[in-house]
Homo-oligomer: A and B are copies of this chain.
Amino acid sequence: MEEVTVFQYNLVYNALSFTMATFAAATLFFWLQRSQVGPNYKLALTITGLVTFIAAYHYLRMYQSWTESFEVVNGAIELTGQAYNRAYRYVDWFLTVPLLVIELILVMRLSQSETIKRSVLLGGAAALMILLGYPGEIQDEVGLSRFIWGALSMIPFLYIVYALVSGLSKSISDQPQVVRGLISMARWVIVGSWLFYPVVYFLPFVIPMDSGAAYATVEVGYTIADIIAKAVFGVLIYVIAMRKAEAEGTAATTTAAAR
């Protein structure tokens, strides 16, 4: 990596700390509010909180790794020689990305067999996508290996997009009217926020990405994509669960509208 300015260093530092706080708060929110959604949606909220919990842990580790990689000497940033550990992101995604698609499937409350089938297929594809991307990420240079692993990783990615956009349409139209729009929005939040990751992965083939500015942009970009894919998506799952539980009469609250 080339030189990182104090501004870039602080930007990433603050972004990592901010995101850790966001995920920790989101986890507590999902698990506290889990008591309110009625028994059929508790599993969905348990997993929604697990995703942000795992992410909070990895953002804490990334924050530590970032501060250990650099030191401020006379107002300039110097490398300590300890490399920033990018593997934390892949380890995090390997755990959380399959769980994210399972959240969406669970909150839809499909039949048991369909829930299992879709969870295994979509969750398995999500895990495979991360597994195939990682060997390309750790190549020393931006070359054929990175490209091939990335291209292989795109196969499960495109399968997931296809399954969410096309395969889920029938099931969504069977959902109660009150949540149909929200569930459709949730799958587009997945597709939209996930698109950021392959863009970053393939960007080095187009423009050199070893400047401090590019490095900081990628870190902040991943961070924003993670917040949308996990915390914002999780709040959507929570709202869907509440609305469905209310419609089914199993929510703990009485709706203000029903008064």
Contacts and interface: CB of A to CB of B under 8 A. Distances in A.
A142 to B, nearest CB: 19
A145 interface: no
Contacts of A74: 81
Number of copies: 2
Contact of A54 (B25, B43, B61, B83): B25
Interface in A90-139: 91-92, 94-95, 109-113, 115
Question: Which of A21, A35, A253, A254: most chain B CB closer than 10 A?
Answer: A21
Interface in A34-53: 34-36, 39-40, 42-43, 46-47, 49-50, 53
A201 B58 CA distance: 32
A228 to B, nearest CB: 15
A33 interface: yes
A257 interface: yes
B35 A42 contact: yes
Interface size class of A (residues with CB under 8 A): 35 or more
A38 to B, nearest CB: 9
A18 interface: yes
A109 B34 CA distance: 20
A18 B110 contact: no
Nearest to A92: B21
A87 B85 CA distance: 24
B18 A46 contact: no
Question: Which of A17, A22, A75, A111: most chain B CB closer than 10 A?
Answer: A17
Given A50-B28, A91-B18, A40 B85 contact: no
Given A42-B36, A42-B252, A82 B72 contact: yes
8 contacts: A14-B85, A17-B88, A18-B91, A21-B58, A25-B54, A32-B49, A72-B82, A73-B81
